[in-house]
Chains A and B, each alone.
Chain A
Amino acid sequence: MTDEDLAKQAKEGDHDAFAELVRRYQGRLLSFLCYRASRAVAEDVFQDICVKWWTHMKSYEPTGRFAAWAFTIARRTLIDHSRKERGRRFLPLEGAAEIVADPAPGPSRAAESSEIGERLARALEDLSDEQRETFLLREYAGLSFKEIAAAQGCSLNTSLARMRYALLKLRARLEARHG
């Protein structure tokens, strides 16, 4: 059964279909999140995204790919979360004590359990946010460049150029250290 078939059933309120979608996307979603935020934040946002997928399921149009719909919501949720966190960090001093420090900030802590994950995380730090997101949307979300452009609100050429620069920088960084 395709993702889109499952999404149609989930749209009708089928819990099992929705759970199967989450199971299929858990690894891709967590990888996408972990290379853009700390593991703790990524896991929090992961749960927020699942809730949003379910509550927004009615807005899914079966004519489109589920992955594109799902990761558009995922990136927006992560952006909202980052904005909220930034806002909290600029609270006046008397409110500063309420800010819970992230024990493992930055994407570089995302995949410390594997050497290759750590190397990729370090290399991704050299990329701009847009280039990093383009790379992750392509490689983990599996979106087409047209879908990435639509999600990011840019032109197709821009998303292609971002991928080109991302690969150039990643290759240069990883080959300089290990090539």
Chain B
Amino acid sequence: MDEEPGHEELVFLYHSGELPQAGRERFEKHLASCDQCRRSLEDLSWASDLAREAAVRPEAGLTRRALARTLGEDGVRIWADRARSMGMGLGLAFAVGLFLLRTAHPPEKSPAWPSGLDTEFSELDRRLDRLDADLSLDSWNVEFKENWEHLGRSRQGLKSQLDEQEEV
């Protein structure tokens, strides 16, 4: 299988940034006039896109288990801290989103504000606060995902109601 590098191999080296500067400039000039090399370059981009789309996502507990096995209790602690800060970040982002939504649709400007929405917003805020407080290593993956999805659905429902009211 050992062969002299042909144009296609040079395209690979160009694409991976392994050609020296002079070779790179020379190859770019060649590329402008060579359909075959341009096609090879497209093939590489196609392969990269394909690989990116087909990347396998780690299941949530895999890395946590690996760190626990590697670093012991400290690995567990680090992962828990990371998960907690990420959860709080997401919670904060959601709270900001809710705030912006309420600012864009202030109740006082909408005489047809549906009854009970304020209570529901308050309940959502309370649940967000509780979510931040309740995050723990064992419950994070499942509980946070379920709560997050539920809050997302609630938010969507409320937004739809507001939109309908605005139209009215």
Contacts and interface: CB of A to CB of B under 8 A. Distances in A.
Interface in B44-84: 44, 46-48, 50-51, 53-59, 62-63, 65-67, 69-71, 74-75, 78-79, 82
A interface, size bucket? 35 or more
Given A16-B78, A145-B16, A161-B2, A22 B54 contact: no
B interface, size bucket? 35 or more
Given A15-B75, A23-B82, 10 more contacts: A22-B66, A23-B63, A28-B55, A47-B65, A50-B67, A144-B18, A161-B2, A161-B9, A164-B12, A167-B47
12 contacts: A18-B71, A19-B71, A23-B63, A23-B82, A27-B56, A27-B57, A30-B56, A31-B54, A35-B56, A53-B70, A144-B17, A164-B12
A27 B55 contact: yes
B58 A30 contact: yes
Contacts of B66: 22, 46-47, 50-51
Contact of B78 (A15, A135, A138, A146): A15
What DSSP secondary structure best describes chain A's contact surface?
helix
A31 B63 contact: no
A26 B71 contact: no
Nearest to A42: B56
A157 B10 CA distance: 10
